[in-house]
Amino acid sequence: MNKVITVPKNKDAEVRLNYNEALHFELIEINLTIEEFNYLWDKGIFHLINNICNSIIDDNEDESINDLNLIKKTHQELNNRYSECKNIIDMFQYALTYKTSIHFYF
C-alpha cells in the first residue's frame, strides 16, 4: 500500500482534495516507500507530529492537519530535531507557504 503525504497548492485544491477531485498539478506529493516510512517511524517523526498536532498518524490511517499554527510549530520542531529529514520538513513548509494543510494517506 502506498504511503503518500500531500499538500494542496491552494484553498480550492484543498476543498477538492476532500472530495477526491483535486487534480495532480494542484498538489505536492511525496510517495514513501515502506523502507522510508519505517525509517521515519523508527526515528519518531510521526510520534512528534502526533504529539504536537493531537493527530493519529499511524500505519493504515489517513490524517490531515489543517491548523496553520500547529503546522508552523511542527515545522519548527522538525527542523530543530530532525533536520536530516528534509522531505518531511519541506512538506510542512509548503503547507505554510500555500496556507493550506498537510494530509497523510497511510
Region 4-12 average pLDDT:
98
Q: What pLDDT shows up at residue 79?
A: 97
| Residue recorded with cell 500547529 | 70
Cβ–Cβ < 8 Å for 22, 13: yes
**Grid coordinates belonging to 41:** 517511524
Indicate whether 1 pLDDT > 80: no
Residue 90 CA to residue 80 CA, distance in Å, equals 13
Cβ–Cβ < 8 Å for 7, 102: yes
pTM for the predicted model, two decimal places: 0.94
